[in-house]
Amino acid sequence: MNEITLIPNNSLITETPEEGRKLAVHIARLIIKLTQPDEEKRKEQREIYANDPMMLIAIGQTVATEFATIAAANNYWQ
Amino acid sequence: MNEITLIPNNSLITETPEEGRKLAVHIARLIIKLTQPDEEKRKEQREIYANDPMMLIAIGQTVATEFATIAAANNYWQ
Amino acid sequence: MNEITLIPNNSLITETPEEGRKLAVHIARLIIKLTQPDEEKRKEQREIYANDPMMLIAIGQTVATEFATIAAANNYWQ
Amino acid sequence: MNEITLIPNNSLITETPEEGRKLAVHIARLIIKLTQPDEEKRKEQREIYANDPMMLIAIGQTVATEFATIAAANNYWQ
Amino acid sequence: MNEITLIPNNSLITETPEEGRKLAVHIARLIIKLTQPDEEKRKEQREIYANDPMMLIAIGQTVATEFATIAAANNYWQ
Amino acid sequence: MNEITLIPNNSLITETPEEGRKLAVHIARLIIKLTQPDEEKRKEQREIYANDPMMLIAIGQTVATEFATIAAANNYWQ
């Protein structure tokens, strides 16, 4: 496994739901970066994602799952 | 990451299940907006979604996952 | 977002598991209705769903996720 | 919604994990029955499912999600 | 439903995470066996699975969901 | 089932979220290794994964599900 950081700041705790949501997006993207380390290829792939409705929905599904974990970790910011 | 709001009002707490459900739909759509910021392209994609049964089911799956988190955050509005 | 009701009776609480399951199916369908408001098109899509094994399985997946939330909300009707 | 029973015995509680697993399979199949009420067509679809590796995996995914709910409802039969 | 055992030893409890993971794989495979009881056909399907990257990922998704349940049942072996 | 280790160190407990995330990636990959034990074929498949946007998203989905379990096991490293 190449050595990129997978969890920024090594913590799931955020101050707000908004920051938690950004973290969910971020850690989802870092798994893609881990699997496809080539920056140039990822840039091409982003173009594909952004223009494919089914892929956009699938990205949403992944972020939703990551966010569920982060929200629970933060006790839903209550 | 471009600077759009991902969690409206920066809170998962809503007064009712109905509002929680709307929030689930909303935050799911904001991930699509984040990934495809072009309003015109998203409008075209919505036309594709709305007429593709499999995509409609997949949207339902994503909303269900987001709603699970929001419902838990609100202790199921009990 | 057009103004259809997304959570009937604005509650996740049901008297029985059977009613909870029906609610899960109902709220899953309302997301499809929200995304494709045209009654006639939805009717055509239902014909497609009902005859496509993979779509039937995917519908089952979505209902399962919705039901998990409703079951938790009702403390599993214990 | 046509009037088939969606939760046999109107309960998620089972005596054993084995029975809970059978219930998970059963309620997953009942959603398919609800969506495609025609017995003959479902029989044809089962032939398709059983011979399509991806569909078999997807069925497994749905059963896993249903089982998670039933297992939680039974406090994991502890 | 034909009479194969779906939960070996009729229990989700295992001594270790490793055994819990094996159980997750096992119960996922038993759903496939239930749906496709023909040993010869399943053998052919395994050949297809093992050589299709998307199917391998989907198998991983199913095992992950089963494992979540088993891990919770064992209180994460703490 | 061939005898590879499925849970390294036979534990879901990690010191940090970063290590927990690596474990999530690792155990997801071990299921692929279990299903496709041929090192050479897996290497070819990785090339396919890394260049297919939809597969990359699906890998992210699987890792998210594994991570949810590991994060819960570690009480979210609080």
DSSP string for chain B: -----SSGGG----SSHHHHHHHHHHHHHHHHHHH---HHHHHHHHHHHHT-HHHHHHHHHHHHHHHHHHHHHTGGG-
Whole-number pLDDT of residue F54: 97
* Residue D2 clears pLDDT 70, i.e. is over it: no
Nearest CA among B65, A72, A54, B60 for reference residue F67: A72
pTM across the whole model: 0.97
Does pLDDT of D70 surpass 70? yes
Whether the per-residue pLDDT at F42 is higher than 80: the answer is yes
Q: What would the pLDDT profile of B62-75 be if each residue is shown by its tens digit? A: 999 999 999 999 99
Q: In this model, does residue A30 exceed pLDDT 70?
A: yes
Kindly tell me if the per-residue pLDDT of C23 is higher than 60.
Answer: yes
- A49 and B35: CB-CB below 8 Å? yes
Q: Do F35 and E50 touch (CB under 8 A)?
A: yes
The per-residue pLDDT for B3 is: 85
Amino acid symbol at F57:
I
Q: What is the average pLDDT score of chain D?
A: 96
Q: Does A32 score more than 90 pLDDT?
A: yes
Instruction: Give pLDDT, residue A2.
Output: 57
Size of interface A-F (CB pairs under 8 A): 87
Which positions in chain A have a beta carbon within 8 angstroms of at least one beta carbon in chain F? Answer: 1, 5-7, 10-13, 27-28, 31-32, 34-36, 41, 45, 48-49, 52, 54-55, 58-59, 61-62, 65-66, 68-69, 72-73
Mutate to test the interface with E, among F49, F63, F65, F77 (most CBs of E within 10 A): F65
Provide mean pLDDT across the span B1-18: 92
Q: How far is A33 from chain F (nearest CA, A)?
A: 9
What average pLDDT does the segment C47-53 reach? 96
User: How many angstroms separate the Cα of C2 from the Cα of each of B7, B50, C6, C32?
Assistant: 20, 14, 10, 12
The mean pLDDT of A52-66, rounded to a whole number, is: 98
User: Which positions in chain C have a beta carbon within 8 angstroms of at least one beta carbon in chain D?
Assistant: 16-18, 20-22, 25-26, 49-51, 53-54, 56-61, 63-65, 67-68, 71-72, 76-78
| ipTM at complex level | 0.95
User: What does the pLDDT average to over A29-56?
Assistant: 97
Residue F1 clears pLDDT 80, i.e. is over it: no
> Which pLDDT belongs to residue F20?
98
Please tell me the predicted confidence (pLDDT) of residue E3: 85
Q: Do chains C and B touch (3 or more CB pairs under 8 A)?
A: yes
Across all residues in chain A, what is the average pLDDT? 96
Tell me the HSE value of B75 on the side-chain side, using a 13 A CA sphere: 4
What is the per-residue burial (b if ≥16 Cβ within 10 Å, else e) of F43-63?
eebeeebbebbbbbbbbbbbb
Question: Using the beta-carbon criterion (under 8 Å), do B36 and A25 form an inter-chain contact?
Answer: no
Closest CA to C68 of D77, E68, E23, B22: E68
pLDDT confidence band for B55 (50 / 70 / 90) = very high
pLDDT at D28: 98
Chain C partners within 8 Å of B77 (Cβ): 11-12, 73
Burial E18-31 (b: 16+ CB within 10 A, else e): bbbbbbbbebbbbb
How confident is the model at residue D8, as a pLDDT?
A: 98
Give pLDDT, residue E2.
57
D61 contacts on C by Cβ (under 8 Å): 61
Contact between F55 and F49 (Cβ < 8 Å): yes
Cα separation of F59 and F36, whole Å? 16
